[in-house]
Amino acid sequence: METCDVVVIGAGAAGLYCAGLLGQQGRQVVVLDHARRIGEKIRISGGGRCNFTNLNGADPARYLCTDPRFVRYALKEHPPERFIARVRHAGIGFHEKHLGQLFCNDSSQQIIDMLLADCRRGGVQIRHPVTVTGMQRLVVRESQEPEESRLADRPSATGAPPVPGIRALQDTDAGQAPRFEIRTTAGVLRARSLVIATGGLSIPAIGASDFAWQLATEWGLQTIAPRPGLVPLTMTSSAWQPFAALSGVALPVDVSVTVSPPGRAKTRKPQSVRFGEDLLFTHRGLSGPASLQISSYWRTGQPLWLNLLPGIERAGEWLVDLKHGRLAASPLSEGKRGDGQPHRQQLGTILSTLLPGRLARAWLAGAATLSGTQWPPQLAAALQGLREDMRLTDLPDARLRELGQALNAWPLVPAGTEGYRKAEVTVGGLATAELDPTTMMARRIPGCYWIGEAVAVTGWLGGYNFQWAWASAWVAARALGNH
């Protein structure tokens, strides 16, 4: 039976990086992956140019997990600068695009080639397409007779092969004995250590599976139920129809949602998570960076709050001041629209100067109907009956204040998301409480390491999830190398 030091299951970003590091430390490493073409998620990322990290990627606040402290160690030990140095050493040109996001100048394939070159340098064997058909944890017993306890095999939720249980064997050389037996379509392997790097459920078209989640469940480890993250949101209400016609309209917004932070229920106080990004209207709902970012925090039934005028902090007072001519300068005071006297201009003209014209008209006509139940009754009533042809001078100050308040806080309740087929990441996975953050090893299963998206850590949009892949892989590789 073939044996090796480490078996890495999953040839994605985290798996390949970890394997290359281990191989170059002299470890005998075998990587297994079921895909015919490995690294596919790297290949399609960043529009084909791979947003491989973010200059702000060491900030733990930009990662979603049940214990925000968990990610600190890995991000501190392997900050973005470490991977950037590796990219530079490989001669890969890159640039900063937006908000610290780093992209390859040419192609995502350069990152894949770099990772594969590191694996070759370390003598790593990469076997694919190879399917893991069964796996057992070998446990050393003190008794002379081997004991056996096998968890019931059962198919995964996606129809993947069942993940089997644990076989306890006596071994006279516990120090170097293999602790895991992996059965595959290409044969059986035994390894001293095992690294789970199979990612999550996002983008099943390129081979995503629930292998890691099923394995954790079968082995009795705590998991966080998976759900799509960094994903477009859908709206199905009939009242959304006027806004569905805005497909392709984009604008900068502030979007927020209320979340319950980790901790004891009695001491938790709801907090608001906010992102200032571009929002894109689609025929099915909302997309663009703002929607993707907030989707990782949003839960079914919750309202999102959109500030359509993020550059005007108190839009109600701004409209009142505009009406009374108290603004020395404004987007409307240059006389390019209407008659050059902002306070006499029509409401539709004013809003079309502040917002994309199609959105301004649709919002004025349909926002009250769509979101009325989420606003206070007085505010919802104030929006009813507003027309494009009304002038500021026709409206009382109180009504203008309520209009501005609504523009600064437009509540929308999505029906759902576009699901894993369009999600960039999976929120959830193995609970961080199961892992030692300084090694990424499962506390209850010595020798079993979990890295990347298989762990319940989700980064923001913009290279953070790759940064987590590199950092968690590096910590695991260092721990395994020390052993």
Residues 108-146 pLDDT 10s? 999 999 999 999 999 999 999 999 999 998 865 544 433
Residue 168: predicted pLDDT: 38
pLDDT of residue 142: 43
The answer to whether residues 191 and 137 touch, using CB atoms and an 8 Å cutoff, is: no
Q: Please say if the pLDDT value at position 319 is more than 80.
A: yes
Q: Which of 256-260, 318-322, 337-341, 356-360 has the lowest mean pLDDT?
A: 337-341
Mean pLDDT across the chain: 89
pLDDT digits (tens, 9 = 90+) for 227-280: 999 999 999 878 898 899 999 999 999 999 999 876 555 556 789 999 999 999
pLDDT at 13: 98
The arithmetic mean of pLDDT across residues 20-30, rounded, is: 98
Mean pLDDT of 447-467: 98
| Averaged pLDDT for residues 420-444 | 97
Work out the widest C-alpha separation in the chain, in whole angstroms.
Answer: 96
Residue 455 φ then ψ, to 5°? -95, 150
pLDDT at residue 342, as a whole number? 62
**Per-residue model confidence (pLDDT) at position 268:** 66
pLDDT value, residue 328: 63
- State mean pLDDT over 200-228: 94
Q: What is the number of alpha carbons within 13 Å of residue 317 lying toward its C-beta? A: 3
pLDDT given for residue 217 in this prediction: 94
Does residue 341 have a pLDDT over 90?
A: no
| Sheet of strand 285-287: strand arrangement | 410-412, 304-307, 250-259, 271-281, 285-287, 233-234, 416-417
Nearest CA to 468 out of 76, 46, 40 is that of 76
Q: Residue 330 has what pLDDT?
A: 59
Q: Which helix (H) or strand (E) holds 397?
A: helix 397-408
Domains of the chain by residue range: 2-228+425-482, 233-416
CATH 2.40.30.10 for domain 233-416, yes or no, is: yes
The domain covering 2-228+425-482 belongs, at the CATH homologous superfamily level, to FAD/NAD(P)-binding domain (3.50.50.60)
pTM: 0.89
pLDDT at residue number 153: 40
Burial degree of 252 (CB within 10 A; 0-12, 13-18, 19+): middle
453 burial via Cβ count (<10 Å: 0-12, 13-18, 19+)? buried
What is residue 142's three-state secondary structure? coil
Torsion of CA 381, 384, 390, 396, to 10 degrees: 0
Burial class (CB in 10 A: 0-12, 13-18, 19+), 264: exposed
